[in-house]
Structure 1
Amino acid sequence: MTTQDAPTLSGAATVRRPRRGRALWLLAVLGVLLALAFASITVGSRDVAWSDIAAALGGGTDGFGQAAVAKRIPRTLLAILAGAALAVSGAVMQGVTRNPLADPGILGVNMGASLAVVSGIAFFGLASATGFIWVAIAGAALSAAFVYAVGSLGRGGATPLKLALAGAATSAALLSFIRAVVLPRGDIAEGARSWQVGGVGGGTYASVAQVLPFLVVGFVVCLLAARGLNLLALGDDLAAGLGERVAVARAAASAGAVVLCGAATAVTGPIAFVGLVVPHVCRLLVGVDHRWLLPFSALGGAALVTAADVVGRIVARPEQIDVGIVTALIGAPFFIHIVRRQKVRAL
């Protein structure tokens, strides 16, 4: 699994950041996330008062305000968890493939998870949230393996451009399969179409509790793989010379990324571009050391998805725009910028 480009070693990102500077950025991002979480609880089709928040936290559900807060709290928790999972998954995929274009959505991993869930519902009567998660993880793993195999064909191996093209083609094919499964089934068509957009509006305490163990496992695996990712950024030969078992490190990191992506997609639907945008921004703030990059990406992804959810509720009052649409509006121009920058470097 090697590529020609090593984005983690390019440009100003290679400058070492002092620990004090990283700590300040950590506090800043954490403060932004807390402010966004508060906004997510208080902002919606109708704003709520402090008394409603206090009553809802105490278990009260009387009146519109308290009921709204009681519904928004698990929604906010789900946005934070899903955003963190998708951002860390994207950062790990970029580190494993040394591909600046790697992202669960761009590489077709999200769509593989989606097809697995839709097929499970349509053909096997899948109904439990835990079942959704297991099936989504399996679909994400198969899709990731297929895209990498296709992108590795030919001269030069899995270059960033070939992986991006393979991912785009795979995503288009999988989307067609999803439509072929859903369209004849009127009983699941409406719910499946809504879920495919990607959003956190259906978040409940039950769904958060069911997905949390999978996300914890994925986060732990990815964090344990951080040192290996740092060595992989130097190239396979040098990493092996430094004592790293390249295949094991790459497989472990990939497994953690797939678990995070699959579990998040199972409960929110496919939310694209979070794993692309956030790691790139975080590298500018804290550098390329994955021991810092992965935790920062988690906070940044949580902040981005929470902000997208709040924006979607504000701009379309009293209706709402799903998170997947907002992140696509942010991420698509960013993706074009990255592609153009890589093309210029290749000239």
Structure 2
Amino acid sequence: MDSSTNGKEEQLREQLWARPGAAMGIIVIGLAALLFIMALGIAVGAVRIPLRTVYEALFSFHPDNTNHQIIWDLRFPRVIAGALVGAAFAASGSIMQGMTRNPLADPGLLGINAGAAFALAICFAYLPHLSFNSMILVSFVGAGLGVILVFGLGRFSRGGLTPVRLALAGSAVSILLSSLSQGIALVNDVAQDMDFWIAGGVAGTQWDQLALTAPWIGGGLIVSLLLSRYISILSLGEDVALGLGLQTGLIKLAASVVVMILAGASVAMVGTIGFIGLVVPHVARFLVGKDYRWIIPTSAVIGSLLVVGADIAARLVNPPQETPAAAMIALIGVPYFLYLIRKEVRD
């Protein structure tokens, strides 16, 4: 009995190989780099602000100083939002890829982001006086609607839910919900209000929005770390997980709720930024191995770096005008998505 159990544990370790040292190094160095790039993100913009002034504004704020006001009211919440949503989208993508064993799984590709944006369009058009906190809850419902539609459509496909079929179903549902969102916005004359969420970007994020969304995202990230061990087991397959006594239905439900919270809160704050949850987990898996106890935190750090960096690049492309950060990330995400599609079809 003991030898059989030890044998299974050894086999699991071989399948879930990891580089803990590399993961810890990436996380520590990544967090240090994130602090630096966030400071750079505060300094860069239409008005260039020296890093020394950034330091002074953070630790000895003077309300009469215009640069200090720009830093605190505009740029500081902006970089914090970028770090939070980057971590949220990347962690949710990692959970989805591990849970479904689908390398193409991503909140944007599987209709979650589009579902949340669709719910927000309904709020702007028909519930204009709804509080931002209530809008976050509605966006969770919209994210759930996207998941239900994608998996419902995918199950009707002949041959089952292969990664490519699931991605195609997600693309179809995303296009449908995005079109409905734009139609609702145009008919009800709220297109201008929706432009920000459709384009996707951290510009204009305010402290009150952060105060409402940060606890949701922070809580979702903590729970994702608590679930990471079970996600690792699920990534080995349903039969293996059941054989180890894992309550797969309960774990999948909890993981799905976490994904909807992370994606829904992020879309409510910054709009539909795609491809982070697709690209970043693959990078993390390549660097640290197949154990999601390391993949999820590594993905969160890399995702934060990606979004804050993309936001800085978006400000520098065509100054003083700003390019949406989602467009900058898509320059990386679209080619990688096509590469993954080609690889899955070939396999």
> Would you call these one fold, judging by a TM-score over 0.5?
yes
Which blocks of at least 5 consecutive residues in structure 2 are unaligned? 1-13
Cα distance in 2 for partners of 1:225, 1:15 equals 15
* CA distance, structure 2, for counterparts of residue 317 and residue 96 of structure 1: 42
Shift of 1:92: 0.7
Q: Distance in 2 between matches of 1:151 and 1:257?
A: 19
Residue 63 of structure 1 and its aligned partner are, at CA, apart by 4.1
Task: Quote the Cα distance in structure 2 between the aligned partners of 1:214 and 1:61.
Answer: 30
SS in 1 for 2:205: coil
Distance 1:14 1:329, change over 3 A: farther
Corresponding residue of 2:339: 337
* Offset, 1:14: 6.1
1:64 positional shift: 3.7
Q: Bigger CA drift: 135-144 or 218-227?
A: 218-227
Relative to structure 1, is the Cα distance of residues 331 and 218 closer, same or farther in structure 2, using a 3 angstrom cutoff? same
Q: CA deviation at 1:176?
A: 1.4
The 1:234–1:123 alpha-carbon spacing in structure 2 relative to 1, beyond 3 Å, is same
Query: Per the alignment, in what secondary structure is the counterpart of residue 245 of structure 2?
Result: coil
1:269 to 2:276 alignment = no
Q: Find out whether 1:327 has 2:329 as its counterpart.
A: yes
How far, CA to CA, are the matches of 2:51 and 2:220 in structure 1? 36
Determine the C-alpha separation between the residues in 2 that align with 1:279 and 1:190: 34
* Post-superposition offset of 1:197: 0.5
Query: Corresponding residue for 1:32?
Result: 33
Alpha-carbon distance in structure 1 between the residues aligned to 2:89 and 2:321? 26
The match for 1:295 is 297
In structure 2, distance between residues paired with 1:97 and 1:19: 24
Mapped partners of 2:162, 2:44: distance in 1 = 44
Deviation at 1:322, TM superposition (A): 1.3
Does 2:59 correspond to 1:91? no
Contact 1:197 1:322 in 2 (8 A): yes
* Aligned: 1:143 with 2:146: yes
Which amino acid in the other structure matches residue 253 of structure 2?
Answer: A
Q: Distance in 2 between matches of 1:269 and 1:333?
A: 22
Query: C-alpha separation between the residues in 2 aligned to 1:116 and 1:256?
Result: 18
Please report how far the alpha carbon of residue 19 of structure 1 lies from its aligned counterpart in structure 2 after TM superposition: 2.5
Distance 1:104 1:294 in 2: 15
- Is the CA contact (8 Å cut-off) linking 1:211 and 1:263 kept in structure 2? yes
**Would you say the 8 A contact 2:18–2:290 is kept in 1?**
no
Indicate yes or no: 2:195 matched with 1:177: no
* Displacement of 1:249: 1.1
Provide, for residues 249-292 of structure 1, a one-character-per-residue CA deviation record: whole Å limited to 9, x for no partner.
Answer: 11111111111000100010110001001101011111111111
The whole-number CA distance in structure 2 between the counterparts of 1:20 and 1:222 is 21
The whole-number CA distance in structure 2 between the counterparts of 1:240 and 1:91 is 21
SS at match of 2:283: helix
Matched, 1:121 2:115: no
Please identify runs of 4+ aligned residues in structure 1 that moved more than 6 A.
none
Which string of whole-angstrom CA distances, capped at 9 and with x for unpartnered residues, describes residues 100-157 of structure 1?
1111111111000000011012112244221111010110011112211211224442
CA distance 1:60–1:24, shift in 2 (3 Å): same
Superposed counterparts of 1:147-296, under 5 Å: 147-186=150-189, 188-296=190-298
Q: Would the aligned equivalents of 2:197 and 2:267 in 1 still touch at CA under 8 Å?
A: no
Which residue of 2 is the match for residue 44 of structure 1?
Answer: 45
| Structure 1 contact 52–69 (Cα < 8 Å) conserved | no
Shift of the 54–36 alpha-carbon distance from structure 1 to 2, 3 Å rule, reads closer
**SS in structure 2 at match of 1:296:** helix
Letter in 1 for 2:80: L
| Alignment correspondent of 1:3 | none
**Residue in 2 that maps onto 1:10:** none
Q: Displacement, 1:50?
A: 4.0
Q: Distance in 2 between matches of 1:194 and 1:82?
A: 15
* TM value normalised by structure 2: 0.91
CA RMSD in angstroms comes to 1.7
One-letter identity of the residue aligned with 1:24:
G
Would you say 1:68 and 2:70 are equivalent positions? Answer: yes
Query: Match of 1:23, as an amino acid?
Result: M
Amino acid at match of 1:36: I
Q: Which secondary structure state, in structure 1, belongs to the residue aligned with residue 45 of structure 2?
A: coil
* The 10-residue stretch of structure 1 (111-120 or 44-53) with the greater mean CA deviation from structure 2: 44-53
**CA displacement 1:314-343 (0-9 Å, x = unmatched):** 112111111111111121111111111222
After TM superposition, give the deviation of residue 15 of structure 1 in Å.
Answer: 7.8
Q: Give the distance between the partners of 2:97 and 2:69, measured in 1 at CA.
A: 41
Shift of 1:66: 1.9
Structure 1 contact 75–202 (Cα < 8 Å) conserved: yes
Partners of 1:152 and 1:159 within 8 A in 2 = no
Aligned sequence identity (%): 37
Query: Which deviates more from structure 2 when the two are superposed, residues 225-234 or residues 106-115?
Result: 225-234
CA distance in structure 2 between the partners assigned to 1:241 and 1:152 by the alignment: 25
User: Per-residue displacement from partner, 1:37-79 (whole Å, max 9, x unpaired)?
Assistant: 1110111112112453244223324344222212211111010
Aligned residue-pair number? 332
Q: How far is the alpha carbon of 1:84 from its aligned partner?
A: 0.5
Q: Secondary structure at the match of 2:140?
A: helix
SS at match of 1:225: helix
